[in-house]
Chains A and B, each alone.
Chain A
Amino acid sequence: MTHSPFTPGVAAARLEPEAYAENFADLHPALDDHEALVAADRCYFCHDAPCITACPTDIDIPLFIRQIATGTPDAAAKTILSQNIMGGMCARVCPTETLCEEACVREVAEGKPVLIGQLQRYATDHLQEQGLHPFSRAAVTGKTVAVVGAGPAGLSCAHRLAMLGHAVTVYDARPKPGGLNEYGIATYKTPDGFAQSEVDWLLKIGGITLEHGKALGRDMSLDQLQADHDAVFLGMGLGGVNALAVEGSDKSGVLDAVDFIADLRQASDVASLPVGRDVVVIGGGMTAVDAAVQAKLLGALNVTLAYRRGRDRMNASRFEQDLAASKGVRIMTHVVPRAVHGNGSVREIEFEYVNDDMTGTGETVRLAADQVLRAIGQTLTGDGMPTLEQGKIAVTGAGRTSLEGVWAGGDCALGGDDLTVTAVAEGRDAAMDIHKTLMGAAG
């Protein structure tokens, strides 16, 4: 420990080395066999279960839990993965508290839902740790499909297409596959290289070629992809970050939260990552919480999450907000940044208090800040896209864009709620639609 949380400015190694391992360990340690049985026993096996309805990928949750309870976790995993090929990641990152577990009748009855997310992880881990891939490819169709983006939407689409017998090439701008699973999620939600091992496992289906370092608009055009393939799926996510349009936002120390998170995920030793003594994160979504919590875990003394509306309007779930609070993050609401102060580097950030209708109150407040992390939304980048709407690719049905033969899903497409699980569902559904289109009535 070269520095301490009190060290002024931006510094690495603020904590004892062992503190990092503890801080960035699994948020929800895996259930052991007995815990899984106990948790599974709590499921009532509801009729037409509300949890299934609440799951964007419609996993048959009561069935897979019953399969766990009867000692067949691999069968449970197949139930999960047949609906959601990234069931392992979703078990870790889904805001279950606003999806399946919120709908669980035991949440309604007792405020204690069945631990659906952790049970899902138990089953999928059990299967994947054995290296088993329970799906196989249909006869090769001779059709080829280009998938842009190796994130949840793209890989889900690619897997389903490959399973149906098509040849798929996945293009991704980054050096590693996984998209936000690899670059955009807090380390403590998916430690130990899970994102990569899940991709490796997913690719065991065969028939999928990965091409890295290929960005749409930079290294290839949509026209060319369409010419070279029978269909194209766009799932490249949102590459741009909304700017902080205030005076002084170009000062050093003002960073994108997504880059901060990506650096953490890619760091071989998180202790080497510099973090401010006073950190202010601007935003109210999952990215903002992931950045704020991790800044705190890196040893920042004061971390403030500043959001323009009330807590009830934050995109981050109540669980995420409470997690942030429990780690020592201060959540400030009804504040809008007005100026970044400092001499070259940021020293303070000035906010104005605003009313619910976003009108200013004239009251301002200044916070000490060595780092300001922007988490105020991302934007679609690239030219030659299909028709956009509200800054995203407009889609109808199962991801059909304005261009014939081009589908889209995940964060770059309009609709959905920008969750991993939604992206997986959209990729899967687009794949089924592509398949139907390519194979005609016979499909």
Chain B
Amino acid sequence: MADLTSEFVGIKSPNPFWLASAPPTDKEYNVRRAFEAGWGGVVWKTLGEAGPPVVNVNGPRYGAIFGADRRLLGLNNIELITDRPLEVNLQEIKAVKRDYPDRAMVVSLMVPCEEDPWARILPLVEETGADGVELNFGCPHGMSERGMGSAVGQVPEYIEMVTRWVKKHTRMPVIVKLTPNITDVRKPAAAAHAGGADAVSLINTINSITSVDLDLFSPEPTIDGKGAHGGYCGPAVKPIALNMVAEIARDPDLRGLPISGIGGVTTWKDAAEFLALGAGNVQVCTAAMTYGFKIVQEMISGLSEYLDDKQIGLDDLVGRAVPNVTDWNQLNLNYVTKARIDQASCISCGRCYAACEDTSHQAISMSEDRTFEVIDAECVACNLCVNVCPVDNCITMEELPMGATDARTGKPVEEYANWTTHPNNPAATAAE
């Protein structure tokens, strides 16, 4: 069993699986259950200023999209930060941290964009014994309309300014949580870095309308016939999150900035992918909200088994895929593959044929007896047949060896060459 002990910006936890700031971490009862279930840490649901707490809607807060058998694929919410008094949350944080000293206890914060409120709240958090703070610059609904959350996260100058205040007023590690509702995530990350952040965490939720009620003509979730955009999360957002994590991880100016990966982590494998793309740990919410806290047991056993199989430690996994994330113009244009259909496992559904014939390159033939075969002279190796085939590993991509002739182009496979030197590229530089 691999050692999953994690240290992230100096915060130790028995495993790299934290619960993200969200409903599962809103109060002592839930967090104690989470720690009993085995979670390595939590980011306590966002605290606001002292005084009358925010209020939430009293109708539905969540909307969802589903896959087969009502498998929840994406969840959207219009819940705000904690609607419980600040003092209550602080007392509970202190009590839980006292009882679970080995677990990471990070507190998410969101107060108005002025220095005083930050200066006031930070000592209160420190007093609980919490390990760190996470600045919620990502929440895309409700709070952003009041100049907080993603309203800050969408302006790099504000991010840097607030981060600087926070660093000035606390000794605790500071994690800046980034919103994906921007065009280039490297800009807010750089701002956090410049402001002195110890780490960034991403992604927060994505602006979304999950569906429209076609009788009420109202977005879901519907509150008295109206709907507002919410924050989208869950398995459906993972590809977006992975890309944003990778963009930061491979940016030369941000190299070494710790990243806490968030966005659709549902299984150990999702977590391993975030780690490989440079995240030092992961935060989970939707999976726990869908299945309960027990899923962390699968994450622990799965990641442990994987590390054992690879004979590497957790730290070796972090960032391991980053060098392989590149720009399109660096991809090898002389890498030639062809689709191969394994006739033994083919069930003759014909989906590859329909997809290729109707929407791609007419590179699959169909015989009277429903045998489907790839026409190498037409196959551009787009991979669509692989993606639509319902049978795992029935269609694969086979690499043509160096020197072999590509039946489509009639040319032999040559050494690595990319677009930057391609003759069709008007900006090509001559190959050395």
Which single residue of chain B is at the shortest CB-CB distance from A34?
B70
Residues in chain A near residue B349, CB distance under 8 A: 44, 46-47, 105
Are B68 and A44 interface neighbours, CB within 8 A?
no
State which of B55-63, B184-192, B202-210, B350-358 sits at the interface with chain A. Answer: B350-358
- B residues less than 8 Å from A44 (CB atoms): 349, 351, 390
Indicate if the CB atoms of A106 and B347 lie closer than 8 Å: yes
Chain B residues within 8 Å of A45, by CB: 351
B385 CB, min distance to chain A CBs, angstroms:
12
Establish whether residues A38 and B348, one from each chain, have CB atoms under 8 Å apart when the complex forms.
no
Name the interface residues of A103-160: CB closer than 8 Å to any CB of B: 105-106, 108-109
Contacts of A37 in B (CB 8 A): 69-70
Interface code A12-35, partner B: CB below 8 Å = 1, 0 otherwise? 000000000000000000000010
A48 lies within 8 A of chain B by Cβ: yes
- Whether A105 pairs with B347 at a CB distance below 8 angstroms is yes
| Total CB contacts across the A-B interface at under 8 A | 36
Inter-chain contacts of B350 with A (CB < 8 A) = 46-49
A interface footprint on B336-361 (CB within 8 Å = 1, 0 otherwise): 00000000000111110110000000
A59 CB to nearest B CB, Å = 18
Q: How far is B370's CA from A105's CA once the two chains are assembled, in angstroms?
A: 11
Q: Which residues of A are found within 8 Å of B353, using beta-carbon distances? A: 47
Cβ–Cβ contact A105 & B348, under 8 A: yes
Does B68 contact A41, Cβ atoms closer than 8 Å? yes
Residues of A near B68 (CB, < 8 A) are 38, 41-42
Interface 1/0 per residue, B346-390 and A, CB below 8 Å: 011111011000000000001000100000000000000000001
In the assembled complex, the Cα of A41 lies from the Cα of B370 at a distance in Å of: 23
Asked if A50 lies at the interface with its beta carbon under 8 angstroms from chain B, I say yes
Residues of A within 8 A of B428 (CB): none
Partner of B348, one of A34, A41, A42, A108: A108
Q: How far is the CA of A276 from the CA of B390 in the complex (A)?
A: 52
User: Are B391 and A109 in touch, CB under 8 angstroms?
Assistant: yes
Interface size class of B (residues with CB under 8 A): 10 to 19
What is the minimal beta-carbon distance from B201 to any residue of chain A, in angstroms? 35
User: Min CB distance, B66 to chain A, in Å?
Assistant: 10
Contact A38 B391 (CB under 8 A): no
Q: What is the bound-complex CA distance between A328 and B391, given in angstroms?
A: 39
How far, in angstroms, from A46 to B348 measured CA to CA in the complex?
8
Complex contacts, B370 vs chain A, CB 8 Å: 48, 50
In the bound complex, how far is the Cα of B348 from the Cα of A50, in angstroms? 9
CA distance A106 to B390 in the complex (A): 10
A106 to B351, CA, bound (A): 13
Report how far A120 CA is from B70 CA in the complex, Å: 21
Report chain A residues within 8 Å CB of B366.
Answer: 47-48
- The CA-CA distance from A76 to B391 in the complex, in Å, is 27
Contact check, B347 vs A109: say whether CB atoms are below 8 A apart.
Answer: yes
A42 to B68, CA, bound (A): 8
Please tell me if the beta carbons of A47 and B351 are within 8 angstroms of each other in the complex.
Answer: yes
Separation of A401 and B381 alpha carbons in the complex (Å):
56
Q: In the assembled complex, how far is the CB of residue A69 from the closest CB belonging to chain B, in whole angstroms?
A: 9
Q: Which residue of A lies closest to B372 (CB)?
A: A47
Nearest CB of chain B from residue A178's CB, rounded to whole Å: 37
**A90: shortest Cβ distance to chain B, in Å?**
24
Do residues A41 and B69 form an inter-chain contact, with CB atoms below 8 A? yes
Name A's interface SS. Answer: helix
* Beta-carbon contact of A47 and B354 below 8 Å: yes
Neighbouring A residues of B70 by C-beta, 8 Å: 34, 37
- Most chain A beta-carbon neighbours within 10 Å: one of B70, B349, B351: B349
* A38 to B68 CA separation, bound complex (whole angstroms): 7
Q: Distance (Å) between the CB of B324 and the closest chain A CB?
A: 33
* Residues of chain B with a CB closer than 8 A to A109's CB: 347, 391
Asked if B351 and A46 sit within 8 Å, CB to CB, the answer is: yes
A294 to B159, CA, bound (A): 78
- Chain A: CB-nearest residue to B67: A41
Give every chain B residue within 8 A of A49 (Cβ-Cβ).
Answer: 350
CB A327 to nearest CB in B, in angstroms, measures: 32
- CB-CB contacts below 8 Å: B48-85 with A: 68-70
In whole Å, how far is B390's beta carbon from the nearest beta carbon of chain A?
Answer: 5
Please give, as numbers and ranges, the residues of chain B lying within 8 Å of A106 by CB-CB distance. 347
Q: What chain B residues lie within 8 Å of A41 (beta carbons)?
A: 68-69
Complex Cα spacing A49 to B391, Å? 16
Q: Which residues of A contact B347 (CB under 8 A)?
A: 105-106, 108-109
**CA–CA, A108 and B348, complex, Å:** 9
> Which residues of chain A are near B390, meaning CB under 8 Å?
44
Give A37 to B70 CA distance when docked, in angstroms.
9
Closest-CB distance, A163 to chain B (whole angstroms)? 32
Per the bound structure, the CA–CA distance linking A108 and B68 in Å amounts to 21
Contact of B69 among A38, A47, A48, A105 (CB under 8 A): A38
In whole angstroms, what is the CA distance A49 to B370 when docked? Answer: 10
In the assembled complex, the CB of B71 is this many whole angstroms from the nearest CB of chain A, namely 10
- 1/0 per position for A388-418, CB-CB distance to B under 8 A? 0000000000000000000000000000000
Nearest CB of B to A209, in Å: 42
Closest chain B residue, CB of each to CB of A40: B68
Q: Which A residues touch B348, using CB under 8 A?
A: 46, 50, 105, 108
B354 contact set on A, CB distance < 8 A: 47
Rounded to whole angstroms, the CA-CA distance of A106 and B391 in the bound complex is: 10
Complex Cα distance, B348 from A44, in Å, reads 11
**Please, which residues of chain B bring their CB within 8 A of the CB of A38?**
68-69
Measured between beta carbons, the chain B residues less than 8 angstroms from A108 are 347-348
In the complex, residue of chain A having the shortest beta-carbon distance to the beta carbon of B388: A44
Q: CB-CB contacts of A329-340 with B at 8 A, as 1s and 0s?
A: 000000000000
Q: How far is the CB of A72 from chain B (nearest CB, A)?
A: 12
In whole angstroms, how far apart are the Cα atoms of A46 and B366 in the complex? Answer: 13
Inter-chain CA distance A50–B351, complex, in Å, is 12
Q: Which 5 pairs across A and B sit closest by C-beta, in order of nearness? A: A47-B350, A41-B68, A47-B354, A109-B347, A105-B347
Chain B residues within 8 Å of A, Cβ to Cβ:
68-70, 347-351, 353-354, 366, 370, 390-391
A-B contact pairs, 23 of them (CB 8 A): A34-B70, A37-B69, A37-B70, A41-B68, A42-B68, A44-B349, A46-B348, A46-B349, A46-B351, A47-B349, A47-B351, A47-B353, A48-B350, A48-B366, A48-B370, A49-B350, A50-B348, A50-B370, A105-B348, A105-B349, A108-B347, A108-B348, A109-B391
Given A45-B351, A46-B349, A47-B366, 19 more A-B residue pairs with CB atoms under 8 Å apart are: A38-B68, A41-B68, A42-B68, A44-B349, A44-B351, A44-B390, A46-B350, A47-B350, A47-B353, A47-B354, A48-B350, A49-B350, A50-B348, A105-B347, A105-B349, A106-B347, A108-B348, A109-B347, A109-B391
